[in-house]
Amino acid sequence: MPDQTDRPIARAERTLLSLPATPSAVRRGRDHVRDTLRSWGLVPDDEPASAAALIASELLTNAVRHAGGPLVVCLDLDGDRLILEVHDTSPELPGARRGPLDTCAEDGRGLTLVDAYSHAHGAERTATGKRCWAVLTLPPGALPGAPRAAGYMDVVRWVAEPAGVALLAEAAEVRQAPAAG
């Protein structure tokens, strides 16, 4: 895991921010996501930027509440795909809640929100803990000069959760389906 503390590192289209696992890390990580997207040319109040900030909040909240240790927020831009990762020191992978959603509960909706706002998401163990990630697809023209990432999701980069695997398979079928006409 990178060892920088509370200091963004920018190189081309990737940033890393290390944070202590405290409640303030959620706000600081969310602000870092918004500031980075703004510096890359994405309007902070547009849907993709708002979705990225929401996903960052959910992944960071889970890391602070359940994992501890130093946290690292990574943003990566690959064509029209925005990859958001949160690294922590716990090897325990998150799991979706089983059963009906308790609408009165104060927690339990985070991964449901991540699923709703991302193209794909998942988690995997690393040598120092785990990485929870989400991929957002940016609308055409959202970032000036960003090329489309042709075949991006075909590249094995992460281990996808079962829901993510199903989503990727469905996306592949849609891409291969003949155009109606």
- Domain CATH number, residue 115: 3.30.565.10
Instruction: Quote the domain boundaries for residue 167.
Output: 9-95+109-176
Question: Is position 40 within any domain?
Answer: yes
Question: Is position 102 within any domain?
Answer: no
Q: Tens digits of per-residue pLDDT, 42-87?
A: 876 678 888 999 999 999 999 998 887 899 999 998 878 889 999 9
Instruction: Give the least confident one: 40-54, 110-124, 137-151.
Output: 137-151
Please, what is the angle between helix 24-39 and helix 47-66, to 10°? Answer: 150
Average pLDDT over every residue of 133-154: 67
Question: Is position 100 within any domain?
Answer: no
With CA atoms as reference, report the closest residue to 16 among 24, 25, 4, 27.
4
Question: Is position 2 within any domain?
Answer: no
Question: Is position 140 within any domain?
Answer: yes
Cα(33)–Cα(38) distance, integer angstroms: 9
Distance set, CA 81 to CA 116, 138, 139 (Å): 16, 6, 9
Q: Read off φ and ψ for residue 42, nearest 5 degrees.
A: -90, 135
What's residue 168's pLDDT?
55
- Radius of gyration (C-alpha) of the chain in whole angstroms: 16
Question: Is position 104 within any domain?
Answer: no
User: How many domains does the structure of the chain reveal?
Assistant: 1
The fraction of the chain above a pLDDT of 70, given in percent, is 62
What's residue 132's pLDDT?
92
Between 156 and 14, whose confidence is greater?
Answer: 14
